[in-house]
């Protein structure tokens, strides 16, 4: 699993970082998503999927 983030689409809501701070953070400059671990371990898949689903702007996606 690989996380893709479209920072141009991100609105800085922070749902990803609140849901899974080990994998996502927010930029100090504009609040957009920062992916800390683009290829998290397989056991994190359910939490990563949930964080991606919670993104209000659809800026996050998963690639298998």
CATH, residue 9: 3.30.70.20
Per-residue pLDDT 10s for the chain (64 aa) are: 999 999 999 999 999 999 999 999 999 999 999 999 999 999 999 999 999 999 999 999 999 8
Question: Total domain count for the chain?
Answer: 1
pLDDT for the residue numbered 31? 96
Q: Domain residues for 58? A: 2-63
**What is the structure's pLDDT at 64?**
84
> Which distant-in-sequence residues (6+ apart) come within 8 Å of 12 by Cβ?
26, 30, 31, 32, 33
pTM of the full structure = 0.93
């Amino acid at each position: 699993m690989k996380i893709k983030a479209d920072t141009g689409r991100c609105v800085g809501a922070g749902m990803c970082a609140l849901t899974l701070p080990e994998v996502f953070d927010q930029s100090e400059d504009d609040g957009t998503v920062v992916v800390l671990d683009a290829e998290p371990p397989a056991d994190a898949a359910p939490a990563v999927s949930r964080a991606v689903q919670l993104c209000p702007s659809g800026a996050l996606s998963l690639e298998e």
